[in-house]
């Protein structure tokens, strides 16, 4: 263990001792940072993010951009170019404002039970629903939204005229899924926020957040939109102290790291990455979040090529979990409430794979190695930050000439090791440096016939040429279970 990890662990344990003695989390980041992430989240591994709000009506951004930022793009065309504004004027006219989309945001085919059925079938264990994005429009009846905007600015009193948050929460909980929310701290054009951020925090952020938590009991809170102000303005430490000490979800709630400018990967709860490759395994929980396409909100401009394949998503899941992370995968329903068929197809495919191979994902922890690399030139692309070229296909299935590739991902549960293979070699698969015992057994999940394998030194050699391809449980990734391994 590195010196950095030892120091971090020491600080963590010291803070835990304070909490154990006092029973309270103070409004300080040292206290808040010391709160352990509940085991249920670390065991779940896979969640679905659902982004739905009025931006689903225009449902447009240039390919590769976020369609849910539509209002901002048309008001600030210099930020990402004039394409969104030009589209807006062409499709809706120069005098058409963002608020005019609200009557068109009807959700006439919104079916929370249908959403919940699909998410359950995907194999996800938790759901994060957009409660409020940067446009300030809330998906539940928020008094603070109405008062600060001076209009009916919520889904019960306008648009769909339904308590979207409440209905989805009820539907997913009936299926024993954990329910969480995405919540933006700031609002682009809220008159109070623009004129007096401190008063906005007092009159909108604090009471609205407490109402959201008290009314719907979310067990995940994915904060966002924190980057404009330091904690002196947001005062998020005060709010999280309330959340962890007094709220109805104080014992089970999980939060992320987006609570004030500069907080990411420093303060809060689990660390977040977005369209990156995630983080190295560490003592701190983390989660990679991304959409199936390039936009969280539904974007009609996206083509089929913009969507990750089911195989890519399964390989991402295996890679992320092998390095100690969770995977939050987004779908963006259309304005009428339907989850687009291409997204539905991907979720069903992931669920079919997890039905056979889920034991290698759920409840697992990292092993001493996250993966096994082939010989070749070392590739650094797997370690990236925001929007880096995280090409899982290149890293696993199609390495460039001379480059190394990831042959296996490893996860562990007790004395059982799982080796997740993106593809099988024609003759033999060698799993290197595995400390097996006399009682160890090697099997292939979902494959009924016994495997031909042997122990050669510290390696396990599996005769893949004898595996009947016609009986393979999946073409997406193959999972070997190795029992009774040593330390």
Q: What is the pLDDT of residue 383?
A: 43
The residues that bridge with 377 in the sheet, in sequence order, are 403
Cα–Cα distance for residue pair 227/322, rounded to 1 Å: 30
Q: What is the mean pLDDT of the chain?
A: 92
CATH of domain 371-482: 2.60.40.1180
As a whole number, mean pLDDT of residues 183-209 equals 98
As a whole number, mean pLDDT of residues 13-25 equals 49
As a whole number, mean pLDDT of residues 127-150 equals 98
Contact 399, 435 (CB under 8 A): no
Say yes or no to pLDDT of 53 above 50.
yes
Q: Which helix (H) or strand (E) holds 292?
A: none
As a whole number, mean pLDDT of residues 150-157 equals 98
As a whole number, mean pLDDT of residues 97-125 equals 98
Q: What is the pLDDT of residue 388?
A: 53
Say yes or no to pLDDT of 2 above 60.
no
Contact 351, 314 (CB under 8 A): no
Going 351 to 115 to 117 to 287, the CA torsion angle's sign is positive
Q: What is the pLDDT of residue 379?
A: 63
pTM recorded for the entire structure: 0.93
Q: How confident is the model at residue 22 (pLDDT cuts 50, 70, 90)?
A: very low
Say yes or no to pLDDT of 52 above 70.
yes
Q: What is the pLDDT of residue 18?
A: 36
3-state DSSP call for residue 461?
strand
Domain locations in the chain as residue ranges = 23-360, 371-482
Residue-wise pLDDT for 391-442, tens only, equals 899 889 998 888 888 999 999 999 999 999 999 999 999 999 999 999 999 9
Cα–Cα distance for residue pair 186/188, rounded to 1 Å: 7
* Spatial CA neighbour of 132 closest among 181, 194, 180, 79: 181
Structure-model confidence comparison of residues 376 and 208, the more confident one: 208
CATH fold of 23-360 reads TIM Barrel (3.20.20)
Residue 169 in tokens: 């929460």
């Amino acid at each position: 263990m590195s010196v950095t990890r030892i120091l971090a662990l020491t600080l963590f344990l010291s803070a835990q001792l304070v909490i154990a003695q006092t029973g309270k989390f103070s409004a300080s980041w040292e206290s808040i940072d010391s709160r352990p992430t509940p085991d249920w989240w670390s065991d779940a591994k896979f969640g679905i993010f659902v982004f739905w709000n009025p931006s689903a009506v225009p449902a447009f951004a240039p390919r590769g951009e976020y369609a849910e930022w539509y209002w901002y793009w048309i008001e600030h065309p210099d930020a990402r170019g004039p394409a969104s504004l030009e589209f807006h004027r062409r499709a809706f006219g120069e005098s058409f404002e963002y608020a005019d989309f609200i009557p068109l945001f009807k959700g006439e085919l919104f079916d929370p039970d249908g959403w919940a059925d699909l998410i359950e079938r995907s194999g996800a264990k938790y759901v994060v629903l957009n409660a409020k994005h940067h446009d300030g429009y809330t998906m539940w009846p928020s008094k603070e939204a109405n008062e600060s905007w001076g209009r009916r600015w919520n889904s019960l009193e306008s648009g769909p005229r339904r308590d979207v948050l409440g209905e989805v929460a009820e539907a997913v909980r009936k299926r024993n899924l954990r329910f969480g929310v995405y919540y933006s701290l700031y609002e682009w054009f809220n008159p109070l926020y623009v004129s007096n951020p401190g008063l906005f925090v007092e009159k909108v952020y604090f009471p609205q957040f407490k109402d959201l938590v008290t009314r719907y009991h979310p067990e995940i809170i994915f904060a966002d939109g924190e980057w404009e102000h330091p904690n002196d303005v947001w005062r998020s430490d005060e709010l999280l102290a309330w959340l962890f000490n007094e709220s109805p979800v104080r014992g089970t709630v999980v939060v992320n790291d987006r609570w004030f400018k500069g907080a990411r990967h420093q303060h809060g709860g689990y660390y977040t990455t977005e369209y990156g490759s995630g983080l190295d395994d560490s003592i701190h929980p983390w989660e990679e979040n991304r959409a199936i396409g390039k936009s969280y909100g539904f974007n009609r401009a996206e083509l089929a090529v913009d969507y990750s394949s089911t195989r890519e998503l399964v390989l991402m899941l295996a890679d992320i979990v092998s390095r100690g992370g969770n995977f939050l995968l987004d779908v963006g329903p259309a304005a009428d409430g339907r989850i687009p068929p291409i997204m539905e197809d991907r979720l069903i495919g992931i669920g079919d794979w997890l039905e056979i191979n889920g034991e290698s994902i759920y409840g697992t922890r990292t092993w001493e190695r996250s993966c096994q690399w082939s010989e070749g030139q070392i590739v650094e692309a797997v370690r990236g930050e925001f929007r880096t070229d995280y090409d899982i296909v290149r890293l696993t299935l199609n390495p460039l000439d001379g480059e190394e590739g990831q042959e296996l991902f490893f996860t562990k549960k007790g004395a059982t090791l799982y080796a997740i293979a993106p593809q099988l070699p024609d003759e033999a698969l060698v799993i290197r440096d595995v400390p097996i015992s006399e009682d160890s057994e090697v099997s292939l999940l979902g494959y009924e016939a016994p495997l031909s394998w042997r122990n050669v030194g510290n390696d396990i050699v599996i005769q893949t040429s004898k595996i009947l391809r016609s009986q393979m449980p999946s073409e997406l990734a193959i999972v070997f279970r190795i029992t009774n391994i040593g330390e």
